[in-house]
Amino acid sequence: METLLTAKDLCKTFSQGKLQQHVLKNLNLEINKGDFVVIMGSSGSGKSTLLYALSGMDKPTLGSVKCMGEEITGYSNDKLAVFRRNHCGFVFQQNYLNDTMSVLDNIMVSGLLTDKNRKRIAEKAKELLSKVDINKEAWNKFPTQLSGGEQQRVAVVRGIINSPALLFADEPTGALNSRNTNHVLDVLTELNKEGQTIVMVTHDMRCARRGNRVKYLQDGVITGELFLGAYESGNKERHEKLRHFLQEMGW
Amino acid sequence: MYSLYFIAKNNLKKKKSDAAVLTGLIILAALLLYIGISTLSNMGKVVNKAYELTNAADWYMLNSAVAVENMEEIFENRNEIESFEKTPVYYVTQSGFIVNGEKSESDYSFMLAPAEEERNISRLYPEYEGVLSDDEILLPYYMKNALHVETGDKFCFVMDGRTYDFKVGGFHEDPLFANPMNVSTYKCYITGKRAEEIAAHESGVLSYMECKAKLKEGTDSNRFLMEISDEINEKLPETTQTFNFSFIWTSIRYGDTMSASIGMGVVLVFAVLLIGIALIITRFSIGNFCEMNIKNIGILRASGYKESQLLGSFVMEMFLVSMVGSIVGLCVSALAGSFLGRLMSSLVGLSWNQGFDFKSAAVVMAVCILVTMAVAWHSSRKCVKISILDALRSGIADHNFHKNYFPLEKSRQPLVMNLGLKSIFYAKAKNLGICLIVMLLGFVCCIGFGMYQDFAVDTDNMLKLVGMELGDVFYIGEELEEFGQEVETNPEVERVLYAGNGNIKLVYGDKEVSVTCDFWDRPDFLKNEVILQGRAPEFDNEIMLSMVICEELDIELGDIVYVKGTGKEMDYILCGIDQKINNMGRKALMTTAGEERLNGSSTCSQLCVYGKEGVSDEELAKLLNDTYPQRKAMEAVKMSGETLKPINLVLKLLCAIFIAVTAFVVSLVVFLLLKTKIIREKKNYGVYKALGFTTGQLLMQTVLSSLPVIFLGALLGVMVCDFGAGPLVGICLRTIGIYQYQIKVDGSFKIITVVFITVTAFLVAVLTSIRIRKIQPVKLLTEE
């Protein structure tokens, strides 16, 4: 298995005056190509902090993150930006689409950062939009004219337009209803099946069971890991296994 | 009321930058408005005070001492006269002068008045304490501020290579000779002994007499001037044979304040423009605020606040801003009082003895506050009228789905530029407003440059506008006819024109006016004559009048006008109408033959010499002075440069104000625009950073979201200037007798205007956008 990302002795401390809060404590982690890693944990356990430290969006206080053979911990902000555009994709809890741009432009604005060929990017964006069931009529609409689920699927397409090695998803269904949640998760599962490596933070069991590995984070330390294997729809045993694991972790 | 104040105060806290910008603009507007209003309303007081303190003459004539020997006889029989006085003075046709040994020497004409002479009319003020010594000179107050001469400085006359040194003993104020815009001469006081000594050595220093009269109250001074000129022409015809001038106080009073009034008038217009810009920003600010806080408005309405109360809170908000702005602006005005005083002194030529003007301050405050409140009321009406439910739904009913401008799929420009253009077109109305503001500023800036170029740099153009005909070099004096013929034989001389002038009375129907008439031997050769209708006089029965006079007499081309000079009344055909600034635009012109027909003889008091092509004025003057050392040839440009100094100063000042205010407003607008954009779109910036945009790319995108609008505005302003500046400046000049004038704005000034505005905007945009660097995607994303 090819290792895409390695985090070693990762620490993140937030300081406010004399007060210090250690959010991540000597955390070690490896993510392999094709993984669908789910990071779970209670509120304030450091899930999102870990995700942002791994993706180069935030700098760890100590430790190192090596991604695609690059040691990114010492990178400047601009170098990190270039790293992110080339290797990472993001899906956030809120879709964060730009309301002043059409659906297609929201995706292309990200795609054009790595490929200047507008035609090629537009074709790719349209292909991906079709794949996530966003029909042609919606391409030139503004995000506010779409439903919440549609908006989040557009955000997923934006995240993968540059064919990133890693797709980071931070509670991607946190703001969606049940029907839209499943739709977005189906998209992510499908992408993973096609070989897309995904790292997802969630506190929703429905989301967690889509991953092939579940890591449990407590007080900045990974306290447990569960291997679930590839996702199969309607597999009750998988669900029970996860429920049992989480119970053990005190979730 | 307190609840309104409470909401207004909180609203202001939420939009500190808008409030700061508006306050800044109102401070500036209040400052300029106060300067304009207080100076324009107090200028008359300053001049009147000097009139009272000096007991200035109501009628004044300067003429050869010999010619006015029997002047008293004329005045003895006039009932309107309260008192009459004659005092000797030496008229220096031209002299160089040097202050503190400075290398550059200016040429000008002077009046040297013996200080010890007793004067009751137009007396020396302030009185010189002690006795003026032979090496001391009292200079006009104008020189103190405009030319930066100080008491104790060395002052030196240079005449034909000989120098006469003096120490500046002080400055006197004379409203009749306050600044050179009125009468082109500096009146100075020295001892009689020293004046005689200079006159004995210099042929260009003539023994003259000041004839001064105080008129009884209620006397129509215009009518008096007309009648007394007639009488003097008739009884003392020799007074028209020499260089002379006469005027009445009412004309001089206007002339004293003319350049300062024009300058302050433009400052006032600029202040109004600034208020206009502040109002546009107020409108945008309220609109933006409503858009951003529509939910809060809904909550307030739901909790029972009435429309009128919310409207009141917006009005209260603007009341607070405009009140603070105008108070600070007025405080700055009060602090800048001494600077303003010096400035006004250098324009008017009299000491600015006015303190802080509370009446003007009250007017400024009322204007600033009431106008801003009115616009706030108007702008917030629509906003508070939204239904509670719509407001709580973030105004979804009013939501406007914009067109997707510059779709990335089809555009060809670089990504950051494309995103910048998207931002511009997304907020079309706002950017249109900004474009209009910048266009206005570009237009005004360009006019400033154009006026500076036309009036201050291009002296020839100014001479044409003023209608001052001096040739390339000129002579003033007596018996110039024969001398002129001799001068014309020089191979470097193209031609010589002979001129004289005198007062005439024009009668048309039941209307009559008294004007100064210029007599030229060949009027069609005049360089600086702007003929509006018809042509210059050719025959002895033709006359040309200025438009001001034509309008006064209601006379048209081809009409017959009756003219009274020193002889009997004669009829003349109006063959042409011209424009003039000097003598307040009240001038007439006829041929020397026409003068002979009118007065029985002709006079020549001025000789204008025109050099051949390639011969400079300086070379011509040197050649003539070397060939004819007995007479002093004066260079027209040097001489007129001194006369035009006040207007030059005003224009430089206006240009500086235009440039400074343009830079300030452009900076404010760009700062406000981008700061609001960055705050409003902070989340988008964070997401863009997360997606991989570098700070540099986002900075450039932000700069490009405002710069094209500013550039376009400046460009449009410059283009509009081409056809809009003429009529605007024309309307202003019409009030001083100029009917035909096309302002020329040099291409380089247009480029400078556009570059200046764009570069200012670019620098401010970059500095404002630097804050994007501080935006951290993680912080924004984790805030949710």
Distance set, CA A246 to CA A39, A141, A234, A235, B368 (Å): 12, 42, 19, 17, 68
Distance set, CA A129 to CA A137, A154, B61, B80, B217 (Å): 11, 7, 94, 99, 94
A171: chain B residues, CB-CB within 8 Å: none
Q: Which of B401, B689, B694, B699 to mutate to test the interface with A (most CBs of A within 10 A)?
A: B694
Question: How sure is the predictor about B396, in pLDDT bands with cuts at 50, 70 and 90?
Answer: very low
Q: What is the C-alpha separation between A187 and A182, in angstroms, rounded?
A: 9
- Say if CB B315 and CB B373 are below 8 A apart: yes
pLDDT for the residue numbered B113 = 94
Percent of chain B residues past pLDDT 70, beyond the cut: 94
Mean pLDDT of the A207-235 span: 90
Per-residue pLDDT tens over the stretch B553-607:
999 999 999 998 877 889 999 999 998 776 667 889 999 999 999 988 887 888 9
Nearest to A109 among B401, B408, B410 (CB): B408
The tokens for B350 are 């009299």
Per-residue pLDDT tens over the stretch B309-363:
888 888 888 899 999 999 999 999 999 888 888 888 888 889 888 889 999 999 9
Pairing type for strands B162-172 and B560-564 reads unpaired
Per-residue pLDDT tens over the stretch B72-122:
888 888 888 999 999 999 999 878 888 887 755 667 889 999 998 989 999
pLDDT higher at A88 or B14: A88
B160, pLDDT greater than 80: no
CA B663 to chain centre: 21
Question: How sure is the predictor about B392, in pLDDT bands with cuts at 50, 70 and 90?
Answer: low
Contact yes or no for A84 and B778 at CB 8 A: no
Q: What is the C-alpha separation between B322 and B30, in angstroms, rounded?
A: 9
Classified as helix, coil or strand, A196 is: coil
Contact yes or no for A113 and B692 at CB 8 A: yes
Nearest to B409 among A83, A114, A118 (CB): A118
Mean pLDDT of the B166-176 span: 93
pLDDT higher at B197 or B105: B197
Q: Residue A74, exposed/middle/buried by CB under 10 A (0-12, 13-18, 19+)?
A: exposed
Q: What is the C-alpha separation between B169 and B665, in angstroms, rounded?
A: 45
CA B203 to chain centre: 38
Contact yes or no for A84 and B691 at CB 8 A: yes
Nearest to A81 among B404, B423, B693 (CB): B693
Per-residue pLDDT tens over the stretch A142-153:
888 888 889 999
The tokens for B274 are 């600034």
B241, pLDDT greater than 80: no
A32 phi and psi angles, rounded to 5 deg = -95, 160
Mean pLDDT of the B532-557 span: 93
pLDDT, averaged across chain A: 90
B619 phi and psi angles, rounded to 5 deg = -65, -45
Q: Which of B291, B403, B404, B775 to mutate to test the interface with A (most CBs of A within 10 A)?
A: B404
B10, pLDDT greater than 90: no
A97 to chain B: nearest residue by CA? Answer: B684
Contact yes or no for B687 and A84 at CB 8 A: no
Contact yes or no for B691 and A158 at CB 8 A: yes
Q: What is the C-alpha separation between B726 and B447, in angstroms, rounded?
A: 9
pLDDT higher at B469 or A198: A198
B415: chain A residues, CB-CB within 8 Å: 109, 112-113
How far apart are the CA of A20 and the nearest CA of chain B, in angstroms? 17
A232, pLDDT greater than 90: no
Mean pLDDT of the B24-49 span: 89
Q: What is the C-alpha separation between B262 and B649, in angstroms, rounded?
A: 12
Q: What is the C-alpha separation between B297 and B606, in angstroms, rounded?
A: 78
Q: Is B776 left (phi over 0), alpha (psi -120 to 50) or beta?
A: beta
Mean pLDDT of the B367-383 span: 87
Residue A24 DSSP label: E
Per-residue pLDDT tens over the stretch B287-302:
777 777 777 777 777 7
How far apart are the CA of B379 and the nearest CA of chain A, in angstroms? 25
pLDDT higher at A11 or B778: A11
Contact yes or no for A96 and B402 at CB 8 A: no
pTM for this entry = 0.69
B403: chain A residues, CB-CB within 8 Å: none
pLDDT for the residue numbered B684 = 86
Place of tokens 């932000």: B702
Per-residue pLDDT tens over the stretch B438-491:
898 888 888 888 877 777 777 777 777 767 788 889 887 778 888 999 999 999
Question: How sure is the predictor about B172, in pLDDT bands with cuts at 50, 70 and 90?
Answer: very high
Contact yes or no for B693 and A118 at CB 8 A: no
Q: Residue A199, exposed/middle/buried by CB under 10 A (0-12, 13-18, 19+)?
A: buried
Contact yes or no for B409 and A104 at CB 8 A: yes
B684: chain A residues, CB-CB within 8 Å: 96, 98
pLDDT for the residue numbered B402 = 63
The tokens for B416 are 């950051």
Beta-carbon contacts of residue B114 (< 8 Å; ≥ 6 apart): B88, B89, B189, B190, B191, B192, B195
A92: chain B residues, CB-CB within 8 Å: 687, 690, 781
B402: chain A residues, CB-CB within 8 Å: 100, 142
Contact yes or no for A85 and B692 at CB 8 A: yes
pLDDT for the residue numbered B393 = 58
Q: Which of A87, A102, A201 to mutate to test the interface with B (most CBs of B within 10 A)?
A: A102
pLDDT for the residue numbered B395 = 52
The tokens for A147 are 């439903």
Contact yes or no for A102 and B694 at CB 8 A: no
How far apart are the CA of A122 and the nearest CA of chain B, in angstroms? 6
| Chain B residues whose C-beta sits inside 8 Å of any chain A C-beta | 399, 401-402, 404, 407-411, 415, 419, 422-423, 426, 683-684, 687-696, 776-778, 781-782, 784
Residue type, B654: L
CA-based torsion, B577, B582, B586, B590: positive or negative: negative
Pairing type for strands A166-170 and A197-201 reads parallel
Crossing angle of helices B682-691 and B645-680, in 10° steps, is: 70
pLDDT, averaged across chain B: 85
B397, pLDDT greater than 60: no
Contact yes or no for A57 and B695 at CB 8 A: no
In total, the C-beta contacts within 8 angstroms joining chain A to chain B are 94
pLDDT for the residue numbered B398 = 43
CATH of the domain at A95: 3.40.50.300
A88: chain B residues, CB-CB within 8 Å: 692
- Candidates B607, B485, B496, B627; CA nearest to B93 is B607
B126: cis peptide before it, omega within 30°?
Answer: yes
Nearest to A113 among B411, B423, B693 (CB): B693
Q: What is the C-alpha separation between A101 and A104, in angstroms, rounded?
A: 8
Contact yes or no for A110 and B692 at CB 8 A: yes
How far apart are the CA of B757 and the nearest CA of chain A, in angstroms? 29
- Say if CB B707 and CB B762 are below 8 A apart: yes
Contact yes or no for B777 and A93 at CB 8 A: no
How far apart are the CA of B289 and the nearest CA of chain A, in angstroms? 19
B14, pLDDT greater than 60: yes
A47 to chain B: nearest residue by CA? Answer: B782
Distance set, CA B536 to CA B396, B541, B573 (Å): 73, 12, 12
Q: What is the C-alpha separation between B240 and B516, in angstroms, rounded?
A: 12
Q: Provide the number of structural domains found in chain A.
A: 1
A48: chain B residues, CB-CB within 8 Å: 781-782
The tokens for B27 are 């401070």
Domain that holds residue A231: 3-248
pLDDT for the residue numbered B783 = 57
B419: chain A residues, CB-CB within 8 Å: 109
Per-residue pLDDT tens over the stretch B636-659:
877 777 767 766 777 777 778 778
